[in-house]
Structure 1
Amino acid sequence: MSVEQMEEILSIVGPDLTRQTTNFRDPIEPKQRLAITLRYLAAGESFASLAYQYRLGAITVCSSVHMTCSAIEKKMMSTHIPPPTEDQWKAIASKFWDKWKFPNCLGAIDGKHITIKAPANSGSLFFNYKKTFSIVLLALVDADYRFTYIQVGDFGRASDGGVYGSSRLGRGMEAKTLNVPEDSPLPGSGVQGPMPYVIVGDAAFPLKTYLMRPFPGHRLPRWRENFNYRLSSARMVVECAFGILTARWRVLLSRLQMAPHFVDTVVMASCILHNFLTNPAQNRRWQDEAEHTGHMLPIIRNMGGNRGSKDAYGVREKFSAFFNSLEGSM
């Protein structure tokens, strides 16, 4: 992060980090609170370690991190992860076609586990299939590795179903309340007729008319393999986005030692700062670093049922036919 970028963040969140001077003590400057928080997010060090480095109390460091992350979420969420308008959805779909050759695509979706310390008296609510305690991060990513939607805080055990369906994104797509454009023909082809705008996901997600998942099985016909390849190419942007996120903010790879509602704020702030700092010229470097370290967030196994509707199967077949046509070939 450059000095200019840090100063820009400080100009946005600084007023929320300012505290009054009293007769008993001078408050910590907003710039120092921000520096402590960025160090915590980037290195994943403990509060005790940061307290030693900055010559502050561990409780002061802890409160500074929570205060700053809360201010980032409050002041920057609406500008850096806003709900897309219809024109913005169309612009995202256009980039997916230009860069990844998947038409009418609104984004790639995936979910990951964020490991946390076992909350007191929580039973098995946060206990996941990896035998750790976690919360779920659900994210939709555009063609430039930027988050367009995030949801944080679902219980780790909820990964076996219901996370996507109960999310604001899932309910909004089902109810058609997210400004998604009307169906339109695929580029250069009108044979399939008007086609819906869709999200692409892996086999963990349910098949919907607006959510495409790959064909299951092995030894598939070539035309189905072509569809799976094109969907996988488009879906990799979300994996790359998570790789860049964790390479830059390594705290997400550690076991977060705080209450779940504080974890939610830390993860939200990390995603907002990811969008703020995303630069196409630097994405390759962060991806290489993520691949070099080999550290990844645990995946979500199942985000809903496997059985789709007849209409959903029909939409997938039409996309598959398009990819095997002259207009849709790469």
Structure 2
Amino acid sequence: MSKGEEGEDKGDGGHDHGLVLKDDAVLVCQAIIDEYVDGVMPFPSTMDDWKRIAEGFMEKWNFPHALGALDGKHVAYKCPPGSGSTYFNYKKFYSIVLLALVDSDYKFICADIGGRGAASDAQLWNASDLKSAIEDGDLDLPDAEPLPHDTEDIPYFYIGDDAFGLRTFMQKPYGHRALALEERIFNYRLSRARRVVENAFGILSNKFQVLMSTMQHHPSTIRLIVTTRLVLHNLMRTRYPRLQNRPVDHEGRNQEIVPGEWRNGRQMRDCQVVQGPNRDNREEKKVRNTLKHWINSEAGSVPWQHDMI
């Protein structure tokens, strides 16, 4: 879903300031990507591919019709001369942004690597190829179907936090002011499913500490480094799933969230949450309200959800 390469790095006059990986290291990174990316990080190309992702969210996280969880993190690096403030983020350091879509098993589905640090999650999402493809109808997404044990057709969608605008294809929590019980339960259930993307970033940065450093390379080289780490992450998730589950959040005996080991160390920084104007329309709100009612009904409730509020 990358648009990070378009018009890249014009702020530094087109010069490759910053360190460049040695030729052999670049070749190794590219060889890893070429060898494994199609096998461990294939972009869903058919309706059945997307449905398998949604089935995973329903089976593991009791959340229906979810096609992936979306979030963004900063990757710190030494700013190239002449780039101005475009890479300077709200946390007061220079960075590029990794905006990623994650499945129910903490695997990366796709990623936009290279957004300038001053941009918010929402700005990067709005400029992404994935969002454009959704709006243009270029993806073979599943048709709207009823939720389990229900009759009303509901579209499939991605899930995000408050940074993203509510759309029929993007569901997010209700705002945090004077929420009714059913809305709080909906927020809990959505957040429970969305936590996979936080944990995926946690596993990634815990395993590859370079992502926690301030990289000295050109943004194009950083994209290569980060892409290689995403591919290796998915490869290890596939080959050693139990080992890779050790650092993630898990649920205790009473379904309470037990923080994963990765939260005890340094973490990748979140992008800025920018609240734009409220443009939610009736159809988008109807989808979320239908989900809310299903989650609070006999058809979609889970036994412990009231205890988590």
Aligned to 1:296: 267
Residue 88 of structure 2 is aligned to residue 127 of structure 1? yes
Q: Secondary structure at the match of 2:126?
A: helix
Q: Secondary structure at the match of 2:154?
A: coil
TM-score, normalization by structure 1: 0.77
1:21-76 Cα deviation digits (max 9, x unpaired): xxxxxxxxxxxxxxxxxxxxxxxxxxxxxxxxxxxxx98x7333222222223343
Aligned to 2:162: 203
- Contact kept in structure 1, 2:74 and 2:269, CA below 8 Å: yes
Shift of 1:305: 3.4
Aligned to 1:231: 190
- Contact kept in structure 2, 1:209 and 1:311, CA below 8 Å: yes
Unaligned 5+ segments in structure 1 are 1-57
Aligned to 2:228: 269
Shift of 1:149: 1.2
Aligned to 2:11: none
- Alpha-carbon distance in 2 for matches of 1:284, 1:75: 25
Aligned-residue sequence identity (percent) comes to 38
Residue 301 of structure 2 is aligned to residue 329 of structure 1? yes
- Contact kept in structure 2, 1:196 and 1:209, CA below 8 Å: yes
Residue 222 of structure 2 is aligned to residue 251 of structure 1? no
- Alpha-carbon distance in 1 for matches of 2:168, 2:276: 14
Aligned to 2:26: 66
- Contact kept in structure 1, 2:212 and 2:267, CA below 8 Å: yes
- Alpha-carbon distance in 2 for matches of 1:88, 1:160: 26
Shift of 1:304: 7.2
Aligned to 1:320: 292
Aligned to 2:117: 156
Aligned to 1:95: 56
- Alpha-carbon distance in 1 for matches of 2:127, 2:274: 10
- Alpha-carbon distance in 1 for matches of 2:187, 2:234: 28
1:151-192 Cα deviation digits (max 9, x unpaired): 1011111227420011111111222222110001101111xx
Larger Rg: 1
- Alpha-carbon distance in 2 for matches of 1:102, 1:182: 17
* Matched pairs, number: 269
Q: Return closer, same or farther for 1:211/1:306 CA change in 2, 3 Å cut-off.
A: farther
Residue 107 of structure 2 is aligned to residue 146 of structure 1? yes
Instruction: Give the root-mean-square deviation of aligned CA atoms.
Output: 1.8
Unaligned 5+ segments in structure 2 are 1-18, 249-259, 303-309
- Contact kept in structure 2, 1:124 and 1:157, CA below 8 Å: yes
Q: List structure 1 segments (4+ residues) > 4 angstroms apart after TM superposition.
A: none
- Alpha-carbon distance in 2 for matches of 1:176, 1:223: 33
Shift of 1:306: 5.2
- Alpha-carbon distance in 1 for matches of 2:242, 2:198: 18
Q: Return closer, same or farther for 1:167/1:321 CA change in 2, 3 Å cut-off.
A: same
